Amino acid sequence: MTAAPKGGPALRRPFRYLSASRGLGSRLRAAQEVSRVVEEACAGRRLRVRFSGPGQAVLLEGGALRLVVRTPSEAYQIRNVMPTIRAALEHAFGGAVRSVSVSVNPTLHDPLPSGGDAPQGEPRLPSPGAAREALEKAKRLPEGSRIRESLENLARSLGE
């Protein structure tokens, strides 16, 4: 049996109230409260899955919760302790949880590229005949064609 989740008076709000919170700030705070309860329930079952990142615990309308993990093995482990998680949520928030689902997002919280591939130095200048060539190719296409319009816009932006 796991210990009761820690929490102050804010954790005594019914779960349906939390999932119906309006405004980004209140929804983020509610998701953090729920994440804390879920993490404690998982820790009681010796699972080291964190839900503290943005978008890992998503409160849905009507008392539903979606937990987002990085790998299928984490999803499997969470599904195995789902009764414990549901009981902890119901105990912490004093109400029934309609549903708890688990989904996998392997790119969750991947670091952004460092920008090492970004061009450096002065921007490249178009070749002297680039605008003329784009306009010639545009004239070979049928009137009113989207590609023709795009090529004509390109020619104008290149200076022809």
136, two tokens: 């010639």
For the beta carbon of residue 41, count every other beta carbon within 10 angstroms.
25
At 2 the pLDDT is: 46
Is the domain of 94 the same as that of 133? no
- Do the Cβ atoms of 27 and 59 come closer than 8 Å? yes
What does each C-alpha distance from 28 to 10, 20, 66, 137, 146 come to in angstroms?
A: 14, 12, 14, 53, 44
Range of the domain at 140: 126-160
The upper half-sphere exposure of residue 121, i.e. CA atoms within 13 Å in the direction of its Cβ, equals 3
Is the domain of 35 the same as that of 97? yes
At 8 the pLDDT is: 44
Is the domain of 87 the same as that of 154? no
Task: Output the pTM of the full model.
Answer: 0.54
At 23 the pLDDT is: 67
55, two tokens: 């978008």
Is the domain of 31 the same as that of 61? yes
Is the domain of 134 the same as that of 98? no
52-65: per-residue pLDDT in tens?
Answer: 776 788 777 777 88
